[in-house]
Amino acid sequence: MNNEKDITILAIETSCDETAASVVRNGYEVLSNIVNSQIESHKRFGGVVPEVASRHHVENITMVIEEALVEAHMTWEDIDAVAVTEGPGLIGALLVGINAAKALALAHSKPLIPVHHIAGHVYANHIEERLTFPMLALVISGGHTELVLMKDHMAFEVIGETRDDAVGEAYDKVARTIDLPYPGGPHVDRLAASGEDVLEFPRPIMDDYDFSFSGLKSAVINKLHNLNQKGISYNKEDVAASFQASVIDVLTTQTFKALEDYDIKQLLICGGVAANRGIRARMEMMCDSNDIKLLIPPLNLCTDNAAMIGAAAYYQYIAGKFGTMDLNGRSNIDL
């Protein structure tokens, strides 16, 4: 840790449908956190349209960065480095943030720090409460479902991941099947609270620590199709509750298997799906009874933002891991 001088980082995130910029000091002090969401523009298409996302990023990026500096009461003199999400994400969207970061770093002679989007999701928690190790992180978002073992800062070992759909993707597809608006996760979450797990969907448990959600998603679609054909009525609340019950069983089974096998006493849950009330409640209960410390970032830091990128970037700054002017977007990049 560098205790001599404050390190202030301007961070940019444009990997999907949020144009975001933030000023973060020393890895956890958030001086500003601007998130410009495009959800309204993508809603009518039922999902994120990459070309539309890129165009919105181009239109908003300069304003969002300016706002982040103004809100933090900072000028370029006060900024030590420019951090940006390098990937994974939509390539056209990533490139908008990366080109903005490169131009600003060059113009103001600041080092450039490329950050992995998932590292950002994990470090979202660091803002509220400092991370300590060893720790297991369950990353659940619209693009990712991963179990990550961490023994030190920025040291990630992916021990399990989805073999097909991400859990957030499954939420969004199930939501669309029962005519809920995009993004469907929060709506399924809300309906599930008043429904019952009566539809008996499968619980796909892999032998290792991997996940698979495409079979579950298909099972939901097929079941509803069959019921419709037979003229049997169902309510959306029960569909949501049954789907969510299956997701929760799968997530907790794989996560607690890994915690036990690796003898880890701390669990961090992050990513957009970590906002889910049902998942949070079951994880809290199970962590309590298994003597596991549970860390979940506050709701506004669960979904995509740039503060989390600035938090992770601090540790790369300390380690001297900088990028160069040939930095490119990488839609698929390992943690």
Binding residues for ligand KG4 (CB under 6 A): 16, 141-143, 168, 171-172, 183-186, 189, 271-273, 275-276, 303-304
Q: Which does 185 bind (CB under 5 to 8 A by kind): ligand KG4, Zn ion, none?
A: ligand KG4
Cβ-based neighbour number of residue 130 at 10 Å: 9
* Minimum separation from the CB atom of position 312 to Zn ion (A): 12
Is the CB of 8 or the CB of 19 nearer to ligand KG4?
19
Cα-Cα-Cα-Cα torsion 169, 170, 172, 176, nearest 10 degrees, comes to 140
Is the CB of 35 or the CB of 113 nearer to ligand KG4?
35
Q: Which does 303 bind (CB under 5 to 8 A by kind): ligand KG4, Zn ion, none?
A: ligand KG4
CB within 8 A of 100, min separation 6: which ones?
A: 12, 61, 62, 65, 84
Cβ-based neighbour number of residue 322 at 10 Å: 16
Nearest to 307 by CA among 18, 4, 107, 2: 18
DSSP-based three-state secondary structure for 187:
helix
Is the CB of 143 or the CB of 195 nearer to ligand KG4?
143
* Minimum separation from the CB atom of position 275 to ligand KG4 (A): 4
Cα 135-144-274 angle, rounded to 5 deg = 60
Is the CB of 125 or the CB of 242 nearer to Zn ion?
125
Is the CB of 210 or the CB of 304 nearer to Zn ion?
304
* Minimum separation from the CB atom of position 272 to ligand KG4 (A): 2
* Minimum separation from the CB atom of position 119 to ligand KG4 (A): 12
Which part of the chain contacts Zn ion (CB under 5 A), choosing from 49-57, 71-79, 164-172, 302-310? 302-310
Is 85 a residue that touches Zn ion (CB under 5 A)? no
Q: Which does 323 bind (CB under 5 to 8 A by kind): ligand KG4, Zn ion, none?
A: none
Helix, strand, coil % over all residues of the chain, rounded to 5: 45, 20, 35
* Minimum separation from the CB atom of position 171 to ligand KG4 (A): 4
* Minimum separation from the CB atom of position 231 to Zn ion (A): 41
Q: Which does 210 bind (CB under 5 to 8 A by kind): ligand KG4, Zn ion, none?
A: none
Is 86 a residue that touches Zn ion (CB under 5 A)? no
Question: Between residue 113 and residue 152, which ones bind Zn ion under the rule CB under 5 A?
Answer: 141
β-strand partners of 149: 136, 157
β-strand partners of 211: 162
CB within 8 A of 121, min separation 6: which ones?
A: 139, 141, 144, 270, 271, 308
Q: Which does 313 bind (CB under 5 to 8 A by kind): Zn ion, ligand KG4, none?
A: none
User: Per the structure block, which two tokens stand in for 119?
Assistant: 């590292």
# residues near Zn ion by CB under 5 A: 2
Q: What backbone torsions phi and psi does residue 112 show, to the nearest 5 degrees?
A: -110, 135
Residue with tokens 């000023």: 23
β-strand partners of 293: 266
Which part of the chain contacts Zn ion (CB under 5 A), choosing from 72-80, 126-134, 224-232, 304-312? 304-312
* Minimum separation from the CB atom of position 274 to Zn ion (A): 10
Could you say which of 304, 306, 307, 314 contacts Zn ion (CB under 5 A)? 304
The whole-angstrom separation of Cα 105 and Cα 114 is 12
Q: What's the sign of the alpha-carbon dihedral 252, 312, 172, 221?
A: negative
Is 255 a residue that touches Zn ion (CB under 5 A)? no
* Minimum separation from the CB atom of position 285 to ligand KG4 (A): 17
- In the complex, which residues of this chain contact Zn ion (CB under 5 A)? 141, 304
